[in-house]
Structure 1
Amino acid sequence: MVLYDKNENESGKDYAYRVLKENIMSLELKPGELLSEIELSEKLGISRTPIREVLMKLKSEHLIEVKPQSGTYVSLIDLDLVQEARFMRFALEEKVLKSACEEFNEELFVELDKNLYAQQILADMEGGEKEFHKLDNRFHELFFLGVNKVNVWQSILNISTHYNRMRLLSQAEDPKKDVVEQHAEFIKVIKEKHIDKVESLINDHMRYTKKSWEHLLEEKNESHNFFKINK
């Protein structure tokens, strides 16, 4: 588990929540990994009572699973939750991109271009999937910011904890250049106001995203045991 610097005026409980959630979302704490209240208390330097409260909060967010007579575990990636988040994200993003073709805060094009350039650099490097994943999320967030829908993006993030862990797993193996090329097309469509191209652009991106993680579910893949497959 990676420990981060404590923010100014951050309580021990808030710090523990932030550290644990970021470690779960970054896959430093693997799906299915056993968590010990005693060990977490020692590592984070706070008592077991706030640790227990933090674990209950993470449980309510579907990131922790408590198994009676067994222990507390990082939740497996639930494919039903992945599909719900995927549906919500792409349905809303299509509307946002169409709105952006009509009216967009053009000052954000500078940040979009810088973000895309950073993606291109990482795409030519080995590893870097965590940094690329952060850039990817920020890239999409900028479109929501550009049409004054930042709270909609936050709602998407809230439901996307399992989806984003799935994406991070796939980005460790994906050819990142493919994603960069798609993102470049996003910017071009908005700059040139090609609203008629948005639907096909989103559909292609959605199909690519889904296809990029299908191999993760194969039994021969070492990530296979990270998933909860509902039947």
Structure 2
Amino acid sequence: MILYEKKEEESKKEYAYRILKENIMSLELKPGELLSEVELSEKLNISRTPIREVIMRLKNEHLIEVKPQSGTYVSLIDLNLIEEAIFMRFALEEKVLKEACNYFPEDKMIELEKNLFAQNIIASMEGGEHEFHKLDTSFHETLFLGVKKKAIWESILKISTHYNRIRLLSQKKDSKVLVVKQHKEILNAIKNKEKEKVEDIINYHMNDSMKSWEYLIKLDEENSKYFKISEEK
């Protein structure tokens, strides 16, 4: 587990929550990994009572699973939660992009261009998946902020924890160059006000991602154990 510097205004409990969540979301703590309250308490320099409260908070966010008589585990990546996140993102990102084609502020356009430039640099190198994933997420966030939909983006983040973990896992396997290409198409559509291209771009972006995820889930021996496959809807 990676320990980051404590922020000045953070309580010990908030610090423990942030560190534990960031390690889960970055896959530093693997899906299905057993967690020890004693070890967490020692590493984070916090008593076990607030650690239990942090665990319950993350359990409510579907990132930790507590099994009676068995232990506390990092949640497996839940395909049902991914499906719900995709449904939400597909519908909302299409509307956001169409709105962005009507008008998108210059300062946000510059942010997208700088972000894409940084993505291109990382995509040309080996490794850098975590940095690339952050840029990828920031790119989409800027799209929402550019059309003044901050609250909607925050709602998407809340439902996208499992979605973002599979995205990061797939970026360890996939060509980052393809993602950069897709983001460039999004940027060009906004610049050229090509609203009619938005649906095809989003469809391609989502469908291509889902194909790589299907490989991870069904065929990748190293990573298939990280998924929870349930028939419940």
210-219 vs 153-162, which deviates more? 210-219
1:73-222 alignment to 2 at 5 Å? 73-222=73-222
The alignment covers a number of residue pairs equal to: 231
Relative to the length of structure 2, the TM-score reads 0.98
C-alpha distance in structure 2 between counterparts of 1:225 and 1:219, whole Å:
10
| Residue type of the alignment partner of 2:19 | V
C-alpha distance in structure 2 between counterparts of 1:217 and 1:102, whole Å:
38
Which secondary structure does the structure 2 equivalent of 1:30 belong to? coil
C-alpha distance in structure 2 between counterparts of 1:221 and 1:103, whole Å:
46
Deviation at 1:13, TM superposition (A): 0.3
C-alpha distance in structure 2 between counterparts of 1:141 and 1:219, whole Å:
32
Which secondary structure does the structure 2 equivalent of 1:66 belong to? strand
2:14 aligned partner:
14
2:42 aligned partner:
42
C-alpha distance in structure 1 between counterparts of 2:201 and 2:183, whole Å:
10
Which secondary structure does the structure 2 equivalent of 1:104 belong to? coil
Unaligned 5+ runs, structure 2: none
Cα 1:219–1:70 shift into 2, 3 Å:
farther
Deviation at 1:219, TM superposition (A): 4.8
Question: Given that residues 97 and 143 in structure 1 are in contact (C-alpha distance below 8 angstroms), is that contact kept between their aligned partners in structure 2?
Answer: yes
Residue 56 (structure 1) aligned with residue 56 (structure 2):
yes
What is the RMSD of the two structures over their aligned residues, measured on CA atoms? 0.8
C-alpha distance in structure 2 between counterparts of 1:221 and 1:229, whole Å:
15
| Residue type of the alignment partner of 1:27 | L
Deviation at 1:217, TM superposition (A): 1.2
C-alpha distance in structure 1 between counterparts of 2:184 and 2:13, whole Å:
41
| Residue type of the alignment partner of 1:46 | I
C-alpha distance in structure 1 between counterparts of 2:206 and 2:168, whole Å:
15
C-alpha distance in structure 1 between counterparts of 2:79 and 2:36, whole Å:
26
| Residue type of the alignment partner of 1:108 | K
Question: Given that residues 215 and 221 in structure 1 are in contact (C-alpha distance below 8 angstroms), is that contact kept between their aligned partners in structure 2?
Answer: no
C-alpha distance in structure 1 between counterparts of 2:189 and 2:74, whole Å:
40
C-alpha distance in structure 1 between counterparts of 2:190 and 2:9, whole Å:
41
C-alpha distance in structure 2 between counterparts of 1:212 and 1:128, whole Å:
19
Deviation at 1:16, TM superposition (A): 0.2
Deviation at 1:212, TM superposition (A): 1.7
C-alpha distance in structure 2 between counterparts of 1:120 and 1:173, whole Å:
17
Question: Given that residues 65 and 74 in structure 1 are in contact (C-alpha distance below 8 angstroms), is that contact kept between their aligned partners in structure 2?
Answer: yes
1:68 aligned partner:
68
C-alpha distance in structure 1 between counterparts of 2:42 and 2:17, whole Å:
15
C-alpha distance in structure 2 between counterparts of 1:193 and 1:207, whole Å:
23
130-139 vs 215-224, which deviates more? 215-224
Unaligned 5+ runs, structure 1: none
Deviation at 1:218, TM superposition (A): 2.4
C-alpha distance in structure 1 between counterparts of 2:212 and 2:91, whole Å:
19
C-alpha distance in structure 2 between counterparts of 1:217 and 1:151, whole Å:
32
Residue 223 (structure 1) aligned with residue 223 (structure 2):
yes
